[in-house]
Amino acid sequence: MVWMSGRGAWRALLGLLVVGFATAVAAAPPAGEGFVGSDVCAECHKEKFQQILPSRHGQTADARTPFAQAGCETCHGAGEAHSLSEGKERGGMIVFGDRSGVAPEDQNGQCLSCHQDTNRMHWQGSPHEAEDLVCSSCHRVHQPDGVLKKATEADVCSSCHWQVRADMHKASAHPIRNGQITCSDCHSPHGAAGPSSLKALTVNQSCYTCHAEKRGPFLWEHEPVTDGCSNCHTPHGSNNPALLVRRPPQLCQQCHQLQGAGQGRAHINQVKELTLGQPNNHERFTLGGSCLNCHSQVHGSNHPSGAALQR
């Protein structure tokens, strides 16, 4: 028998292509002992299998992805025991989720085995790690990941950060609820060198990203500003204008009380009643911009005669 004539060779090739195509779509075959291959997983978990294939994790041409390696079992672990028990036993496989029973460090270790990079180098010791959060607390791998989209990111964060959800609807707030600013514009949820997991190294540097006009340096500086924007402002939302923690004039009077007569300094010390038309004429110190009606350069002034932050 001629083992492979010209026509036979073509038919063998056809056979190869027909069968090979079916398996080419699936992940790479088992990578070690106890691995069964993704096509076995797909028999029961068809929907999850189909969801992940077109995603980034499913791109076989990228050698870093799970499906360029051992497929489903790259992340979930060897599936032989689970398969042989027809799903009744987990068999040491990793199930991701807050209540999966798998230790957070084990779940996260799987993700970090690929995603441990400079964006996650502060994960250990971070606030979220200290709270035993797992990656799947926020991320979705088999479905569209809402936390990676600007329009829906805040919804994911505020599912735990309830106070920020309320803050973003206060009288004065950053446009978080409209999706134009998101939590990750300022914060790194995976941990960061900055305070409160800010991406920037200091609170002020974070604010200057969008408010560079406040950066200076100015000829006449206002100490609470250079010390930290959060001395007077609260970033997520406030009942007071301009995200202030309290309103002027009282906010300013908490740091400015003078002594000695003359030079009109009484206007700083006096308790400010709100009574229109009174001879002592307090309404110009309370209404409109309050102290900022005159002292408008509250973040600092570069005018040579601006020591009183009026110019």
Partner 1 sequence: MNVKLINHLSLGMVLVAVGSSQAGAETPPAAPLPATGWVQYGLGYVSDSSYGFGRYNGLEDEGIYPVLSFETELRPGRPDYLRASGRNLGLDSRSLSVKYGHQGLFSTFLRYDQLPHLKTDSAFTPFAGVGGEVLTDSGALQPLSLETERKRLAAGFSYLLQPQWKVNLMVRQERKDGNDWIGGAIRDGGGGGGGGMAIGQVDSVLMPEPIDQTTTDFNASVEYNGERSQWRLGMQGSFFDNEYSYLRWENPNSTYPAWPAGDGQLALAPDNQFLQLALSGSHLLTDTTRVTGLLSAGLMQQDEAFLPYTINGVSPALPRSSLDGEVYVYAAQLGLSARPMSRLRVNARYRYDERDNQTPQADYDYIILDSGITSPTTVTNQPLSYRKHKLTLDANYRFSSDWRGLLGYEFLDSERDFSDVEQNREHTLKGTLKWHARRDLDAALRLSGSTREASDYQAEDPNQNPLLRKYYLADRDRRQGGVMLTYSPATTLTIGLSADLLDDDYPDSALGLTEASGRIFNVDVAYQPVSDIQLHAFYSRDQMESQQRGSNNEVGDVYDWTADFDDTVDTVGLGAEFTGLWPRWDVGVDYLYSQGRGDISQATLPAAALAPYPTVENDLHRLQLSAAYHWSKTTQVRLAAIYEHLDATDWAVDGVPVVLPGGGSSLLLGNDSEDYDVVAFMVAIRHRF
**Residue 27, class by beta-carbon neighbours within 10 Å (0-12 exposed, 13-18 middle, 19+ buried)?**
buried
CB of 21 to partner 1, least distance (A): 9
Quote the DSSP letter at residue 262: -
What does the angle CA 35 – CA 117 – CA 65 come to, to the nearest 5 degrees?
35
Nearer to partner 1, 59 or 184 (CB): 59
Q: State the minimum distance, in angstroms, from the CB of residue 273 to partner 1.
A: 5
Output 92 or 216, the one with its CB closest to partner 1.
216
Q: Cα separation of 23 and 291, whole Å?
A: 74
Looking at beta carbons only, is 84 or 121 nearer to partner 1? 121
Cβ-Cβ contacts under 8 Å for 301 (sequence gap 6 or more): 218, 219, 220, 307, 309, 310, 311
Asked if 62 and 74 count as a contact pair (C-beta separation under 8 A), the reply is no
Beta carbon of residue 5, minimum distance to partner 1 (angstroms, whole number)? 9
Distance CA 223, CA 181 (A): 28
Give 45 or 122: the residue with its C-beta nearer to partner 1.
Answer: 122
Q: Are 244 and 237 in contact (CB under 8 A)?
A: no
Please identify, using beta-carbon distances, which residue of 13 and 44 lies nearer to partner 1: 13
Rounded distance between C-alpha atoms, residue 29 and residue 37, angstroms: 5
Q: How far is the CB of 85 from partner 1 (least distance, A)?
A: 22
Minimum CB separation of residue 222 from partner 1 in Å reads: 9
Q: Is 86 or 262 the residue whose CB approaches partner 1 more closely?
A: 262
What number of CA atoms fall less than 13 Å from residue 46's CA on the CB side?
A: 2
Q: How far is the CB of 38 from partner 1 (least distance, A)?
A: 12
Residue 184 phi/psi, 5° resolution? Answer: -75, 0
